[in-house]
Structure 1
């Protein structure tokens, strides 16, 4: 109104939640795909984990690792597990950025990140 025009030159989507798709490529649940939406999510064998894996070997911790969103990127952090968390075959010691096509190992379970999408 009044002849004023508002020009939007940039639009930033709220990146507070992500949709992430993981496919199990090694372990008892091979072929299983998990599609999750989160700001923060845990992986383990406990019912308290948002993604719970079967673990017949006893090498997966109850709460093994955490995924969280920071500055628009997805990080994985090992939660002090005995057998470690791996990104593309390397054991991580600090929060590590993950991207599509990367493989994440939780003890003997390996998942490939299929897709990451801001929702």
Structure 2
């Protein structure tokens, strides 16, 4: 997979363009969250990292573009653990309080990114169910 195919695959998977940045691809004119994942070449290696409030942190290094693209795709499409249902009170609060919605979304994103930082992703080439 290369960066063009990655971009197309993420779009097809419905991943919002504001959640990632791919080196060499034009930046979409969409609102960005305070935190997003990025893919770039750095010192002869490909890296997937997170940019949080202007600070870039490498999450994983890859020997080539293909593995890096697959790594970023896996991180952005991983559904994570199932969400617990909201209580009726939480539902009412979220429906009428946009600040609460934004705060909860930021907390969930931070939690997901922290989980992602702790989990090394397997090589997609080793997955017999993965289509190449």
Larger proportion of helix: 2
Larger proportion of strand: 1
Name which structure has the greater RCO, CA cutoff 8 Å, separation 6+. Answer: 1
What TM-score, normalized to structure 2?
A: 0.28
What TM-score, normalized to structure 1?
A: 0.30
Which entry has the higher C-alpha Rg, 1 or 2? 1
